[in-house]
Structure 1
């Protein structure tokens, strides 16, 4: 009887120990206390900013705006034009964002306005709510005043096979929007066979693009020759200047940057991933 009671006691202790270390819906605290964390799963995810609501007014986010929070308490991302970093602390469903730093690229007025509003909203104590699962996850960050940031989880996009939509132009350290009326018209897709095709905003094109390391070398491009309104032709001339010869490229998750040797470049984004 004594041995049986001992066996039951040992089994109970093992069960309690297992319960104390089980992660459940959160990760273990790692501090040796055996408590279960209730932090929301917001770290290690690329959160694309969908929209920003301030004072009851909802504004769609520029392409490329995103937030990433790592396990070391550091947030980084893009405010719509400039990149940022900041310290963060997660406690339950509260995300506290400390002072941060940003790059200082010149941006057009509409992007600057969004960045300022985004910077003010993504600061201090925010209530976080995550809905959905895996690639369908959505995150909402809400201030004490009721302003909010809506974000969605997005997987990375590969260079090849992605229909990259041109979203902006770059000249040195200055970023500009596309000419009025040309939004959504220009795009390019790289093939695994070294081909490239797409639209310059007016005419369609195809050609060769050799990828090596961080560079893409474009061969002569063949295109259709129809005439289009002034802004579309302006965009076409600019893109032809970028997609010529050797360029450097970077991909940040679902954003592509191409820069020619003369400092002219373009920014493009991948379409939203479907869950």
Structure 2
């Protein structure tokens, strides 16, 4: 399991150069500088959230992933979200910027609003082993997380959950994406379903350049589905026609063409 690395983005220069105390006063004492919460480059499963003393267990798929440039992405159990994050000492401040708008029912629909309510603003982090607790300033709201290793790019089933247009993400059209998913194989094939029909095609993965290129026409089944599913499938086939830049943040994958159009996908629960 990879060790978390210290966050170096959005942190004052003083904290980057300090070795434990200000002014070389030695270790300990009132002038000790607290180390920053080491969350950059880490990914976490959401276990539970407590709001005003009421604890709710998270549904499968709820997760958060911190990158190394002051961003956090994830899924609240239903929708994908993105936010800016700043860490100073043991305080993590989240400023949410975007959330997709897919409607969910049952446990997923009930858990997500509470998760989003807690995962916002300043939160005090307590790291113990593989567990991270984020607590609101008044102590009434708590988010419980468990670290997880990144999933491999190849061999993982990636569920398509959004479309990208020039850095703006949106959820899939209603009724279109229940079957949309793909697997990048180590054998040079990409297989899956883009909304309606199963497909298989040759793919070239360049991990150094971080590009994925689907080569040649795809072999597909010939089912007729609902208009939303067929429209999504047509759009996704258009996106896969040419080289795509990819960005993986643990369980989240984004594929974009040169125009900025693309898709987002999340690794399915293992």
Flag whether TM exceeds 0.5 (same fold): yes
Q: 1:197–1:204: 8 Å Cα contact kept in structure 2?
A: yes
1:268 offset after TM fit, Å? 0.8
Structure-1 residue corresponding to 2:241: 244
Alignment counterpart, residue 97 of structure 1, candidates 92, 95, 99: 92
User: 2:73 matched to 1:78?
Assistant: yes
CA deviation map 1:114-168 (0-9, x unaligned): 79974764433536375xx6xxx44332323522223231111222111111111
More helix by share: 1
Matches of residues 1-275 of structure 1 in structure 2 within 5 Å? Answer: 33=27, 43=39, 45-49=42-46, 52-54=49-51, 56=54, 66-68=64-66, 76-78=71-73, 80-90=80-90, 96-98=91-93, 107-108=100-101, 118=116, 121-126=119-124, 128=126, 130=128, 137-143=130-136, 144-212=138-206, 213-219=209-215, 220-273=217-270
1:54 offset after TM fit, Å? 4.2
Q: Distance in 2 between matches of 1:162 and 1:50?
A: 22
How has the CA–CA distance of structure 1 residues 89 and 214 changed in structure 2, closer, same or farther, with 3 Å as cutoff?
Answer: same
Cα RMSD (Å) of the superposition? 4.0
Q: 1:259–1:265: 8 Å Cα contact kept in structure 2?
A: yes
SS of 1:81's equivalent in the other structure is: strand
1:189 offset after TM fit, Å? 0.7
Q: 1:197–1:206: 8 Å Cα contact kept in structure 2?
A: yes
Q: 2:61–2:268: 8 Å Cα contact kept in structure 1?
A: no
Alignment size in residue pairs: 228
1:259 offset after TM fit, Å? 0.8
